[in-house]
Amino acid sequence: MNSLKQISIHIRCDQALADEFKQVVEHHGYTTSMMLGKLMQEYINNEKNSLLLSEQEQIETVLAQDAVTRMTPLSDKVADDLLQLAIRMAEKHI
């Protein structure tokens, strides 16, 4: 057995839903475990992407607070805010 796949997750759902899911998954040549693992990873990836978009919006907001044009140097406060945001982003994605 693969040491990375020793976890078992049990869910409760309607029998009809479970049967239909299994039938559709097997029709495409997968197992329910493979497909549920894939769905879990897609969900995680979507959540990470939505966090990145939110962080990008935060950066744009901070930048907009300080400069009329992009040629204007950032104030110390805005530079500090951006640095703190970058640190939080790095900590989340490490």
Residue 32 lies in a domain: yes
What's the total number of domains in the chain?
Answer: 1
* Mean pLDDT confidence for 27-53: 84
Q: Is residue 20 part of a domain?
A: yes
Residue 7 lies in a domain: no
The answer to whether residue 63 is domain-embedded is yes
Residues 6+ apart with CB under 8 A from 59: 82, 85
The pLDDT assigned to 3 comes to 60
* Position 75 in a domain: yes
Which pTM value belongs to this model? Answer: 0.50
* Residue 4: inside a domain: no
Measured CA to CA, the distance from residue 82 to residue 62 in angstroms comes to 7
Is 5 domain-assigned?
no
Tell me if 58 is assigned to some domain.
yes
The range of the structural domain enclosing residue 23 comes to: 15-93
**What was the pLDDT predicted at 14?**
94
Q: What confidence category does residue 12 fall into, taking pLDDT thresholds of 50, 70 and 90?
A: very high
Could you tell me if 21 and 32 are in contact, meaning their C-beta atoms sit under 8 angstroms apart? yes
Mean pLDDT throughout 31-58? Answer: 81
